[in-house]
Structure 1
Amino acid sequence: MSQRAALLIGKLTHTQKEWQACSQFASKLFEYPDGSREDFISKCKSGEFENLFALYRSNDSNPITGDFNEELVEALPKSLKFICHNGAGYNNIDVAACTKRGISVSSTPIAVDDATADVAIFLMLGALRNIKQSFMAVNAGKWRGNFALGHDPKNKTLGILGMGGIGSAVAHRAKAFGMTVQYHNRHQLPPNKENGARYVSFEELLKTSDVLSLNLALNPSTRHIIGKEQFAQMKDGIIIVNTARGPLIDEAALVDALKSRKVWTCGLDVFEEEPKIHPGLLECENAVLLPHVGTGTFETQRDMELLVLDNLKSAIEHEKLLTQVPEQKDKAKI
């Protein structure tokens, strides 16, 4: 096997020992724990990362290098063939630019499914029970405050937009609460993967769901997939849950819908310009908010790091990724 080095951008929290063990199959291990985009690009162009074949990067390391956009991708060493990304979402990587350069990209589905689905259900129940105002009141020493009755999940229709691993895990949990599940994807799932959920059109999903859970990837075609026009098609009093990516929703339109009670309540773990949150959402007593903690468990964080390292090993030893992003996986081998 030719010389194939690996690079770690940022730091590891749970798998430092496993990273060091990568020296058994990588010719050299480079580390770039901190720095700046300009410095990183300079090091790439100067040849400092000699024989670099695969790299580990994450959403947490994005502040160090900035987005892996076309500018940065073009600056990467010509020997680089694989980017192993830690994160279910990878909207900070220009996959098209990577594909053009012959670089394969992996993400971390599967590892994040359960933890993210747990938070989606937590937010859904909190939104159904209209929990925010009572939660805020009791913590301010005002007992129930402006207490108002909530809703039971039983017999409600849950609409899932994006029935991938996380969406399927949400559906599985929702059934325990007596909910009916329907979903919309670009393509209908095979019956054995639907687990009783009903496939409907995007328009029907909007019109007939009592609760709508967003579990799809962010890309140019899904940005603001939920906005003023879509809210108008929904049932009065719908509940919105988003644990995917903030820009899937037009936040200004959501605030208007919350204030008019077209949307009865919402549960959000992600935001359009996070860490900045639309002031209207902070003002709304019917918005249950979390600061992007969907995968925030010890077990899940370790599983994610391990999956990235497994991808790294497979890339170096077999020139193949275990969890390649679908934009590339669905196409011919690059």
Structure 2
Amino acid sequence: MVGKAALLIGEITHARREWQECGAILKLKEYPDGSREEFVSKCRNGDFDDVTVIYRSNDSNKITGNFNKELVDALPDSLKFICHNGAGYDNIDIEACTRRGISVSSTPVAVNDATADIAIFLMLGALRRITSSFQSVRQGNWRGSNFQLGHDPKNKVFGILGMGGIGSAVATRARAFGMKIQYHNRHQLPSNEEGGAEYVSFKELLETSDVLSLNLSLNPSTKHIISKPQFDMMKEGVVVINTARGPLIDEAALVEAMKSGKVWSVGVDVYEEEPKIHLGLLENENVVLLPHIGTATFETQRDMELLVLENLKDAVQYGRLKTQVLEQKYRKNEDDRWLRNH
């Protein structure tokens, strides 16, 4: 047994055997439950002084809380890698990790299909204003007293804000419904990666999309990227879909936009103050609500856990991460270019 250790915070459900097999190259430690205070105390008391790599997840955040600067600074000096189970990692202070020399990975690719499926489910439900029908038929009221015609997706302009792996998977599915696909990123994709989608400015995306799907990551620059000024720019009767992160949308502004009729319907899987949901969304039958289940399939959950373990093994055996977070990956590429040029 080598002297290095890996620490699992929380649980592994679908790849437990593969985690145990990592014991061939690492000492395995687990912190399945507890509190942030207890975890910090164990860090400071030396319980994890041999830990090189941590496996943590969005679910384990309820145990430790955010990996903010305070927590990152308490982690053992031996720690070099954090392997995170989740496509989103806004509960990790990447800058604080980078300053400590800690590399961080996430689980892109593994989440693409399941999240894209939920986005299309929400889009169809929102276009058909399906909530009222769901509720009335279960109440024995057939179509109910508020039955309304919906809209077809065919020939609608589908706008994607954030054309990464998930956004591209959403585009593929939306195209099958006969929709015109356009997108906005910070940078236009190479033509061979666009799949026929049209690159437009942020302003044009807002002004011309019949359906707007949010598929970008949350960071300080993207919080409330959709708020009242952006709703004011949108087409009358726009449909808004969010499967990314709740704080990307100013929910109070969204509720007002629905009241005014600017937004025709909404499909959301994520919320600004999860698990709390804005009362204006709960009370509006033109909103399709899901409880953040975008990746909640057996297959995807196992794929995510396996990808975390691949990162963990690469970290220990080769000193690198397979899916390092973009902020660190781009920074490393920029540093490498600087060294080559100086």
The one-letter amino acid of 1:53's match is: T
Q: Which residue of 1 aligns with 2:108?
A: 109
Q: In 2, Cα distance between the equivalents of 1:318 and 1:261?
A: 55
Q: What is the CA–CA distance in structure 2 between the aligned matches of 1:203 and 1:25, rounded to whole Å?
A: 51
1:39 matched residue in structure 2: 38
Percent of pairs with identical residues: 71
Deviations 1:116-138 (A, max 9, x none): 00000000000011111111111
Equivalent residue number for residue 287 of structure 2: 287
C-alpha contact (below 8 Å) 2:49/2:77 kept by paired residues: no
C-alpha distance in 1 between matches for 2:121 and 2:129: 12
CA contact (8 A) 2:2 2:25 kept: no
Letter matched to residue 16 of structure 1:
R
Secondary structure (helix, strand or coil) at the match of 1:296 reads: coil
- The AA in structure 2 aligned to 1:19 is W
How far did 1:259 drift? 1.3
Q: 1:87: which partner in 2?
A: 86
> Which residue number in structure 1 is paired with residue 132 of structure 2?
133
Which string of whole-angstrom CA distances, capped at 9 and with x for unpartnered residues, describes residues 85-123 of structure 1? Answer: 000100000000000100000000000000000000000
- Local SS of the residue matching 1:294: coil
* Counterpart in the other structure of 2:214: 214
Aligned to 2:195: 195
Which residue does 1:311 correspond to in 2?
311
TM-score (norm 2): 0.96
CA distance, structure 2, for counterparts of residue 320 and residue 261 of structure 1: 50
Alpha-carbon offset, residue 140 of structure 1 = 1.4
* Distance in 1, Cα, partners of 2:119 & 2:140: 28
Aligned counterpart, 1:263: 263
Query: 1:20 is matched with which residue?
Result: 20
Query: For residue 157 of structure 2, what is the aligned residue in structure 1?
Result: 157
TM-aligned CA deviation for residue 50 of structure 1: 2.8
RMSD of aligned alpha carbons: 1.1
Aligned match of 1:143: 142
Moved over 6 A (4+): none
1:160 aligns to what SS in structure 2? strand
Q: CA deviation at 1:3?
A: 2.9
Q: How many residues align?
A: 333
1:62 match: 61
Counterpart AA for 1:56 = Y
- 5+ residue gaps, structure 1: none
Unaligned stretches of 5+ in structure 2?
Answer: 336-342
Deviation by residue 1:4-24 (Cα, 9 ceiling, x = unmatched): 210000011111111110011
SS of aligned partner of 1:331: helix
Provide, for residues 242-288 of structure 1, a one-character-per-residue CA deviation record: whole Å limited to 9, x for no partner. 00000000000000111111000000000000110000001111101
1:137–1:143 contact (8 Å) kept in structure 2:
yes
In 1, Cα distance between the equivalents of 2:2 and 2:204?
A: 54
Note the alpha carbon deviations across 1:224-245, whole angstroms, 9 max, x for none: 0000000000000000000000
Is the CA contact (8 Å cut-off) linking 1:8 and 1:32 kept in structure 2? Answer: yes
Aligned AA (1:202) = F
SS where residue 332 of structure 2 aligns? coil
Larger mean Cα displacement after TM superposition, 293-302 or 46-55: 46-55
Residue matched to 1:278: 278
| Distance in 2 of aligned mates of 1:332 and 1:235 | 41
